[in-house]
Amino acid sequence: MTASGAFWIRLSNAWMEIRENLGRSILQSLGIILGVASVLGGLSISDSQRRRSDELFVRLGGLDKLNVQPAQAAKDGTPTALQMANLGLRSKDAKDGAEMDRSQVFGVSTQKSGRARVRSPFADQDRAITGIGVDYLRVEGYELAAGRSFTSEDLRNNAPIAILGSEPQEVFFPTGDPLGKTIRVGDVPVVVVGLLKERVFHFRKSGRNIFRGRNRIIALPATLVQWRFEGDQYQKLERVTFKIPQLSAMELFSKNLSQLLVSNHRQQNDFRLDDVAARVTKQRKNGDVYDVIFMLSGVLSLLGGGLVNVNIQLASLKERVREVGIKMAIGSSGREIFKEFMTESMLLAGLGALVGLALGCAFSWFILQTIEVPLYLRASSFGLAVGLATLSGFLFGLYPAFRASRLSPMEALRYD
Amino acid sequence: MLPLIQTTAITKTYDADQSVVHALRGVDLWVKRGEFVALIGPSGSGKSTLMAILGCLDSPTSGQYTLDGQSVEALPPPALARVRNEKIGFVFQYYNLLPRANVLRNVELPMLYAGVPRKERTERAKELLDKVGILEKARQFPSQLSGGQRQRVAIARALVNRPALLLADEPTGSLDSRTGSEVLALFRQLHRQGNTVIIVTHDPSIAALAERKVELSDGLVAAAKSAA
């Protein structure tokens, strides 16, 4: 049959049938159009949002990070003596953690914050200062615009040097190049050795720069902060971040790290591990709910449209009984009639899917335009939407096609 | 030589609302190859039912029916479709052309179901349209043709798979007398060329053109007599 081009003739007949009954055909495919539009539009909107968040995380220095922060050991009541005696997170923890598995840890960023009066010939402000380790800038996604970053030598020597974010560069040296100049942080004169690039990320186009706070950084070697500003011989830290590119190694590492820290901290759980990747995955899981909702509304629309389709097709079958009878009289088998009806229903679903895809693109583009997130279309969303439409066209075509194929030629010919 | 059609004690009953209708009560009929037979009888005599069974559009309730050496009374619908496609050409009173297909496509359709390659389909369809004298209308649609022209298209379509039997149901019933007699002349010509023709009619003047008349009455063959 295929050799004689029967398929193409069926297809062209189906096309003719659809064109001849344009109004009815549009009604029939409306469910599919809306379903496809809803599936594609919904998925594209959430994909675009997700993609934007992914971009944000990359700009934050990647997902492959494990944060450790100090936490209250005693949840309520008076802390025990042992808990009181604990020192919290220290530089030693960071060092031990990094040495635990050299092959997996690609950077340890340590952070110790303080506040101090910062002065230059142009400004005099009370500012937050950040004591950082060697890897901090890299792990946190900062980039140098000029100068250098801190070395382990600097940290060992408590070197009186500073790296400035883009905002303090402007504030303390409005006339230009701060590199090599001295600022006073508290009572300590420090030399500016590095300048950071301005970091910009707008989740929505007209939204605020969410990196604004990060541009305010005034970074000193963590050891300098611990020693000169906090007077802290124990080298306490506010945060330690391990960069572990191998996400599969993360779980084991965090388990081992946890044990290490507990033993370092006299068996106290006075710290908190935060696996960024796990957190993001969890967040994303919550986002999946929306996917399911969009999918469901799409599927329901396809279902409703499909049922309407069955009704219209059955009604239109009444007009075509005679035609079916003629075809049967001249030798068409029920199977052939079945194929003809199925071809029509699939073609209708296919055309409906195309319109639906266009509509879905327009729909998601419009929504994203209003929330100012760039549109991101995934091929698999298209696939899914078209797949569902095809499935619906197939399933809901079956019954009318079956009915048509089972007509008795005699009765069909006599039908008026 | 075996007859083309041989029926033995064909019956057909329908279930009406409360009662059973006996449309055929045991029809025995022989038709030889190359014969021109008229099936006549008043409405309600069962001639339409008999025609449907002879045309394999319907199966008898009981009895045997052998067509072209093949026993067809108990064939399942797909096999009956094949028999209709290969062995029977229908001509109906109301032409029964597909309105949305042009003349050429209408004539090609039976060959499509038979799986004839495209090129041959077109060639044969044109050949037959030429034979019935309306080749120049090949690209037109049935609605653009007169009744007589439509019936010629239907005849071309009926002949296109070289059927063993040409079955015409009141073929002139919707035509004026002049075009009617032209169509009848065409049937006679086809008969002379060796086709077996059965015409179902209630009109004695048409039946008179046939070699043999088979008269049905009350679901039985009342009389079978040679005209010529």
Q: Is the pLDDT of residue A1 over 50?
A: no
- For residue A363, give Cα distances in angstroms to A41, A45, A205, A299, A358: 6, 9, 19, 17, 8
What's the whole-number average pLDDT of chain A?
A: 84
Chain A partners of B118 at a C-beta cutoff of 8 Å? Answer: 4-5
Chain B partners of A20 at a C-beta cutoff of 8 Å? Answer: 100
**pLDDT tens per residue across span A39-63:** 888 888 888 888 888 788 777 777 7
Average pLDDT over residues A378-384: 86
Give the predicted TM-score (pTM) of the model: 0.73
Whether residues B96 and A334 touch (CB distance < 8 A) is answered with: no
Instruction: Assess contact for B185 and B11: CB atoms under 8 A.
Output: no
**B90 closest CB neighbour out of A16, A20, A330:** A330
* Amino acid type, A57: F
Whether residues A408 and B58 touch (CB distance < 8 A) is answered with: yes
**B118 closest CB neighbour out of A4, A334, A413:** A4
Whether residues B86 and A331 touch (CB distance < 8 A) is answered with: yes
Q: Is A245 on the interface with B (CB under 8 A)?
A: no
Q: Phi, psi (5° rounding) for residue A238?
A: -90, -30
Q: Is the pLDDT of residue B228 over 50?
A: no
Q: Phi, psi (5° rounding) for residue A366?
A: -65, -50
pLDDT score at A209: 84
pLDDT score at A183: 92
Helix axes A276-329, A334-371, angle to 10 degrees: 150
Chain B partners of A323 at a C-beta cutoff of 8 Å? Answer: 98
CA nearest to A360, candidates A303, A304, A298: A298
Chain B partners of A333 at a C-beta cutoff of 8 Å? Answer: 77-78, 81-82, 113
Whether residues B84 and A1 touch (CB distance < 8 A) is answered with: no
Instruction: Assess contact for A73 and A269: CB atoms under 8 A.
Output: yes
Query: What ranges make up the beta strands (E) of A49-181?
Result: 65-70, 108-119, 124-132, 144-147, 161-164
Min CA distance, A409 vs chain B (Å)? 6
Min CA distance, A413 vs chain B (Å)? 9
Q: Is A4 on the interface with B (CB under 8 A)?
A: yes
- Sign of the alpha-carbon dihedral angle for A395, A400, A401, A402: positive
**pLDDT tens per residue across span B124-179:** 999 999 988 889 988 999 999 998 899 999 999 999 988 989 999 988 888 888 88
Q: Is the pLDDT of residue A338 over 90?
A: yes
| Interface probe with A: pick from B83, B85, B141, most Cβ of A within 10 Å | B85
Residues 6 or more apart in contact with residue B162 via CB below 8 angstroms: none
Q: How confident is the model at residue A4 (pLDDT cuts 50, 70, 90)?
A: low
Q: Is A344 on the interface with B (CB under 8 A)?
A: no
What are residue B40's DSSP bridge partners?
B201, B215
B133 vs B216: CA distance, rounded Å: 34
Q: Is A7 on the interface with B (CB under 8 A)?
A: no
Average pLDDT over residues B81-105: 90
**pLDDT tens per residue across span A224-233:** 888 777 666 6
Q: Which residue of chain A has the CA closest to B59?
A: A410
- Sign of the alpha-carbon dihedral angle for A71, A76, A79, A82: negative
Average pLDDT over residues A263-284: 78
pLDDT score at A233: 67
CA nearest to A53, candidates A262, A348, A286: A286
pLDDT score at B227: 46
What are residue B98's DSSP bridge partners?
none
Whether residues A329 and B96 touch (CB distance < 8 A) is answered with: yes
* A vs B: CB pairs below 8 A: 76
Q: Is the pLDDT of residue A357 over 80?
A: yes
ipTM of the complex: 0.90
Helix (H) / strand (E) element for A192: namely strand A188-196
A3 vs A64: CA distance, rounded Å: 57
Q: Is the pLDDT of residue A358 over 90?
A: yes
CA-based angle A199:A201:A206, to the nearest 5?
130
Q: Is the pLDDT of residue A161 over 80?
A: yes
Min CA distance, B23 vs chain A (Å)? 14
Whether residues B109 and A3 touch (CB distance < 8 A) is answered with: no
Which alpha helices (H) appear in B88-218, and where do they start and end? Answer: 103-114, 118-131, 147-159, 177-192, 204-207
Q: Is A335 on the interface with B (CB under 8 A)?
A: yes
Q: How confident is the model at residue A193 (pLDDT cuts 50, 70, 90)?
A: very high
| Interface probe with A: pick from B96, B105, B161, most Cβ of A within 10 Å | B96
CA-based angle B224:B226:B227, to the nearest 5?
125
Q: How confident is the model at residue A64 (pLDDT cuts 50, 70, 90)?
A: confident
Q: How confident is the model at residue A113 (pLDDT cuts 50, 70, 90)?
A: confident
Exposure of B204 by Cβ count < 10 A (0-12 exposed, 13-18 middle, 19+ buried)? Answer: exposed
Instruction: Assess contact for B29 and B5: CB atoms under 8 A.
Output: yes
Question: For chain B, what percent of residues have pLDDT higher than 90?
Answer: 29
Chain A partners of B117 at a C-beta cutoff of 8 Å? Answer: 3-4
pLDDT score at A189: 92
Q: Is A323 on the interface with B (CB under 8 A)?
A: yes
Chain A partners of B85 at a C-beta cutoff of 8 Å? Answer: 330-332
